[in-house]
Structure 1
Amino acid sequence: MVHRRKVIATAVGVVGAAAGLTIAGCSSSNKAKSGGGTAGSTPAAGSWQTPDTVPVSFTVSPQAGATKVSPTEPVTVAVEGGKLQSCSVVSGGKKIAGTVDTDSGTWKSTDDLAYGKKYTVTATIQDSTGATVKKTSTFTTLKPTHTAGITFQANGMSVLHTGGTYGMGQPVIVAFGHSVTDKDAAEKTIKVETSPSVEGKFHWVSNSIVHWRPAKYWAKGTTVKVSVNAFGVNLGSNVYGASNRSTHFKIGRQLLAVSDNNTKHTKVYIDGKLVRDMKCSNGRGGYTKGANGQSIHFWTQEGPHVVLSKEATHTMSSASYGLTDPSNPNYYAPEIVKLCTRISYSGEFLHAAPWNHSLGAANISHGCINLSETDAKWVYDNFIVGDVVDVHHTPKPLPLTDGLGDWTISFDKYGK
C-alpha cells in the first residue's frame, strides 16, 4: 500500500543567501510492504528533488555600519554564488550612479558621495535556483566642521577668466573659502601644468589665499593649467575642500613698462623691444599724518607692479587714503580721472593728468604715474591684466600684498 507523505518546506539559512526550498515528493513510507528497494536506491518513478542551493556571498565596501567614510571612497558590491541583477546607493532620495561588471559580478559607483550623509546600499540578487532576494547595507560619510570652496583669482579685485590671456607677471592665485591650517595638505591638492614647463613655488599671502609663480616672468605664449583636487581632503582643523576645480589661461606678449623716478620717463617694451617712451610725473614723496594719526606717504612705490584692472574713469580724492583735512597742503577734493590703469590696491594708477604741466620735468603727483591724455589712452588700450610696471629709484618699496608684489621678492626667498 502506498502512503502519501507530508510536504515539508525547510528554509536554508546562509548569510547573504537566498532562502532555499526542499520538497519531498510522493514515495512509499514502508519499504517492506512496498517491496521497494534498499536505502540509497534511485527514487521511485513519479518522485522528484530540487537541486541544492549554492550559498550566496554578498560583500559591500564601505562595510556595513562604517562611519566617517570619505566621500571620495568608491562604493563596491560583489556577489558570489549568485547573479547581481541590480544595485542602488541612495541618500535622501539622491541616487549615486554606478556600473555593473557582468563578468565579475560586481557593481562600482561612478559618482562621488556627499559629506555627512547616510547611504543605503540595496542589491537585488538571483541565486542558483532562480529565486530573487534583496540585501541592504548602510554606512555614513564624514561630516566636516567647515567646507572650503575654491576660487581662481586674477587678483584681489577680480576673478581669473578661464581661457583668458594675461600678462607675463600674472601669478596663479587659489583662494580657499575658509582658513587653511594644514597648508602642506592644501598645496598637495594644487597641480600647475605649464607649456613650456617651468619650475614654480607657492607663497601664502593669507591663511586662505596662496599664490604660485615661476622663477622668472612667464614666456610669451605660455599655457597654464591649474587643477585643485581638494574634495575629500582635510585642509586642517576638520575643514575639507568643498569641491574640485580647474582652470586654464594663456600668457600673451611680454610687456614690461619701466617708470624711472629720476628721468621722469616711462618706457614700454614688448617682447624686449622698446615701443613707447612716455614723459611722466610720479609721486612727489614725503609724508604726512592722516585723520587717525597714521603715516601717509606720497611716493610711487619702487619695484615690479602687476596691472590689476583698467577703468575708463575713476573718482580720486585724498580722503580715499585717509587725508581729510582741507588745510593740509596734500589734501584734494574728489575728482573724476580718465583712462586709469591700476597697479596697486592702495591706489597707484597710470592715468591721464591734463592738469600736470610738469610731465618729464618734475614728480608732483600724490603717488600715481601721471601721463598725457594721448599716452594714457595708449596704455589703456594696450595694457592687459598681468602686465608688469617696474618703478625705479624711489625709497619706498612696494609691499608684497599691496597688489601683486610677487615679483618684488627673489625666487629663493619666495614662499618663506
Structure 2
Amino acid sequence: MAVGAIVAVALSLTACSTSSSPSAGPAGGAPAPRPVAQVSISPSPGSGINPTTPVVVQAVHGKLTTVTVTNASKGNTVAGALSPDGAKWTSTEDLAYGASYRVVADATGTDGKTVTQQSTLTTVSPAAQAFPALTPAPPAPGLTFGVGQIIGVSFDHKVTDRAAAENALTVTTTPSQPGSWHWIDDRTLHYRPPSYWQPGTTVKLDAKLYGVNLGSGVYGKTDRSATYHIHDSWIAKADGATDQMQIVHNGAVVGTMPISMGKDATPTHSGPHVISDKQQQVVMDSCTYGVCPPSPKAYKSTEFWAERISNDGEFVHENPASVGAQGSTNVSHGCINLNPQNAQIFFNEFGLGDVVEAVNTPGGPLPIYDTYGDWELNWTQWQAGSALHH
C-alpha cells in the first residue's frame, strides 16, 4: 500500500430509507413513532484527510449492519472493526495515495427500518514518495553492535520539512538514555546519545513515516522499524606519538599492541572512528576515493583481517611489510597497521559499532559525513543539527 498523505476529499452523501417514518395516529391515542436511524461518515464533505486517519461510520437511533469501504480502481475493501454496541465502525488499515474509495453503510433503526448512507473519498497524489533506508539495515537475529554505533535514516528524496521527519521518528532505549537527531544533509539524519551507548543497551527505531508530509509535495512512502542490541564496550586507543594501541574492554585496559599509523603525507584522521565493516581479505585501492596513479599517494594492495573505520580508506588491518616500523614509526597511507598475530586478535574481538580513537596524528578529524564521523561533534554541536532543538 502506498504511503499516507494529506488528502483532498470529494465527498458526496446520499441517504435513503426503505420506508418513511410512521405518521402520527389519531389525536389523543397513538404512541410517538420510534426514530429512524441516522448514519454519519467522517471525514465530512469538503474536509481533507490523511490516509492514516481512520474512516469512521457512526449510527444514532440504530445499529450498523454492514459497512464497506472499497478502492474504486482495485476493488479491494478496507478492513475495519465494529464496536460491541454496533453503533460505530472504524477502519483499521490505511488508505492509498491517488485513490478513490466508496463508502457504503447500512443501519437498522429502532423503528426496524434500514437506512443506507454513502460517500466517496479521493486521496491526494504526492509529487514524490520518499523511501526511508535505515542505518544499519535491520539486523539478522543475533547480530549485535558496539557502543559507538550510529543509528540513521536516509531518504531517496530531499526533505524540506525536517521537523516533520524527526517527529515521525521514535528511538526507544533500554535502559533509557538521552539522544538527539542531527541532519547530515538534506536527505540523511543520524541519531546518537551524548556519549557512547551503555553496554547491553537495546535501541529500537520506529519510523512512522507513512502519511507524513515531508515538504514540497514529498510524502513518506512506508513505515519501518528496527531493533539494535549493543554488546560489551570495546574501544581501541591508537596513539601516533607512542605508536601503541591500547585495547579497552568495558573500561579496563586488557592489552596493548604496537602499531604504525598514517605518515605525515597521508595521516590517519584524529578522533573517534567507528567500525562499519570487517572482511578477512580486502583489496585496498586508493582510486576508490579519487587518488589514482600517477599520484605518489596512490596504492593498491590486498590486505587481511581488515576492519573499516572510515570511507576515506582507513582500516585497522594486518601489514607484514610494516612490522619493522610498528611501535616506532608511522609509515602507512592512513590505516592502522598491525602484525599478523595482533591483527587476528583484533579482528576476533572488534566488530561493527566498536570504536577506534586516534590521537597524536596530524590528520584532522573525520568529516561528520564520513560514515560515522558523528562522534567528532560535542553534544551541544550535535543537538544544534536537529530541527527540534532550535
Task: Output the TM-score relative to the length of structure 1.
Answer: 0.81
Tell me how far 1:345 sits from its aligned partner: 0.6
Distance 2:228 2:360 in 1: 33
**Would the aligned equivalents of 1:265 and 1:278 in 2 still touch at CA under 8 Å?**
yes
1:255 aligns with 2:234: yes
Partner of 1:313: helix, strand, or coil? strand
**Would the aligned equivalents of 1:353 and 1:370 in 2 still touch at CA under 8 Å?**
yes
Tell me how far 1:110 sits from its aligned partner: 1.3
| Equivalent residue, structure 2, for 1:340 | 306
Listed as ranges, the gaps of 5+ residues in structure 1 are 1-14, 25-38, 43-48, 287-297
Tell me how far 1:342 sits from its aligned partner: 0.4
Distance 2:81 2:288 in 1: 60
Distance 1:131 1:407 in 2: 69
Among 316, 319, 323, the alignment partner of 1:353 is 319
| Equivalent residue, structure 2, for 1:8 | none
Tell me how far 1:104 sits from its aligned partner: 5.3
Task: Output the TM-score relative to the length of structure 2.
Answer: 0.86
Distance 1:41 1:75 in 2: 45
Q: Which has the larger radius of gyration?
A: 1
Distance 1:183 1:40 in 2: 69
Among 52, 59, 66, the alignment partner of 1:86 is 66
- Note the alpha carbon deviations across 1:284-333, whole angstroms, 9 max, x for none: 122xxxxxxxxxxx01111100001001111123433433334x54443x
Q: Cα distance 1:324–1:240, how it changes in 2: closer, same or farther (>3 A)? A: closer
- Note the alpha carbon deviations across 1:318-356, whole angstroms, 9 max, x for none: 433433334x54443x32211110000111001110111
1:140 aligns with 2:137: no
Among 341, 348, 372, the alignment partner of 1:374 is 341
Partner of 1:136: helix, strand, or coil? strand
| Equivalent residue, structure 2, for 1:187 | 166
Of structures 1 and 2, the one with the larger relative CO (CA 8 A, separation 6+) is 2
Distance 1:318 1:117 in 2: 50
Tell me how far 1:81 sits from its aligned partner: 3.5
| Equivalent residue, structure 1, for 2:204 | 225
Listed as ranges, the gaps of 5+ residues in structure 2 are 1-13, 385-390
Tell me how far 1:210 sits from its aligned partner: 0.7
1:299 aligns with 2:281: no
1:106 aligns with 2:88: yes
Question: What is the letter of the counterpart of residue 280 of structure 1?
Answer: I
Partner of 1:216: helix, strand, or coil? coil
Partner of 2:67: helix, strand, or coil? strand
Tell me how far 1:283 sits from its aligned partner: 0.7
Q: Cα distance 1:330–1:247, how it changes in 2: closer, same or farther (>3 A)? A: closer
Larger CA deviation: 342-351 vs 82-91:
82-91
Tell me how far 1:257 sits from its aligned partner: 0.3
Distance 1:149 1:391 in 2: 36
Identity of aligned residues (%): 36
| Equivalent residue, structure 1, for 2:332 | 365
Distance 1:305 1:41 in 2: 92
Tell me how far 1:111 sits from its aligned partner: 1.2
- Note the alpha carbon deviations across 1:38-91, whole angstroms, 9 max, x for none: x9799xxxxxx9x96743322110124x46421011111122344321110011
| Equivalent residue, structure 1, for 2:376 | 408
Q: Cα distance 1:133–1:204, how it changes in 2: closer, same or farther (>3 A)? A: same
Q: Cα distance 1:413–1:118, how it changes in 2: closer, same or farther (>3 A)? A: same
Distance 1:344 1:180 in 2: 26
Distance 2:97 2:35 in 1: 39
Q: Cα distance 1:19–1:271, how it changes in 2: closer, same or farther (>3 A)? A: same
Q: Cα distance 1:408–1:78, how it changes in 2: closer, same or farther (>3 A)? A: same
**Would the aligned equivalents of 1:162 and 1:249 in 2 still touch at CA under 8 Å?**
no
Among 157, 161, 169, the alignment partner of 2:139 is 161
Distance 2:330 2:84 in 1: 79
Query: How many residues end up aligned between the 2 structures?
Result: 364
Distance 1:162 1:321 in 2: 30
Question: What is the letter of the counterpart of residue 368 of structure 2?
Answer: L
Distance 2:350 2:225 in 1: 26
Larger CA deviation: 185-194 vs 316-325:
316-325
Q: Cα distance 1:366–1:16, how it changes in 2: closer, same or farther (>3 A)? A: same
Tell me how far 1:395 sits from its aligned partner: 2.0
Distance 1:40 1:367 in 2: 103
Partner of 1:230: helix, strand, or coil? coil
Distance 1:361 1:58 in 2: 84
| Equivalent residue, structure 1, for 2:350 | 383
Larger CA deviation: 66-75 vs 225-234:
66-75
Tell me how far 1:410 sits from its aligned partner: 0.8
Partner of 1:166: helix, strand, or coil? coil
- Note the alpha carbon deviations across 1:108-164, whole angstroms, 9 max, x for none: 11111122211111112334554445432111122221122222212xxxx241664
Partner of 1:95: helix, strand, or coil? coil
Cα root mean square deviation, aligned: 2.5
Partner of 1:355: helix, strand, or coil? helix
Tell me how far 1:208 sits from its aligned partner: 1.2
Q: Cα distance 1:209–1:323, how it changes in 2: closer, same or farther (>3 A)? A: closer
| Equivalent residue, structure 1, for 2:195 | 216
Distance 2:22 2:371 in 1: 84
| Equivalent residue, structure 1, for 2:8 | none
